Amino acid sequence: MGRLTTHVLDAAHGCPGSAIKVELYRVEGTQLELVASAVTNSDGRCDAPLLQGDDYRSGVYQVQFSAGDYYRARGVQLPEPAFLDVVVLRFGISAEQDHYHVPLLISPYSYSTYRGS
């Protein structure tokens, strides 16, 4: 059974990105359908996969991470507007693959991602 997972690492502080709101959308043309919403735990991971079971199917997805809120809560002084407030990653899933892991490495001024395992 396929699943989609994520985790967040805070490169600026060298720790997991905890208490970050994560929203997953299915992209249908120009429309976004909210599929899942979660908050990262103390290890920077969601407690359950964002997508699994019957909901896991091929398509284009968008995951949004509330990075600006995370850094503000940590007391980091961000400019207004923040350079990175909501980090948006759009990617495709081929349901023939068992597991997609989409991690995020963030700082207030940069981010990176990759297809993990």
Q: Is 100 annotated as a binding residue?
A: no
Question: Which residue from 1, 4, 27, 6 is spatially nearest to 105, judged by alpha carbons?
Answer: 6
Q: Is 114 annotated as a binding residue?
A: yes
Cβ within 8 Å of residue 26, ≥6 positions away: 32, 33, 35, 59, 60, 61
Distance CA 98, CA 10 (A): 27
Q: Is 70 annotated as a binding residue?
A: no
Binding residues for substrate: 7, 45, 114
Binding residues: 7, 45, 114
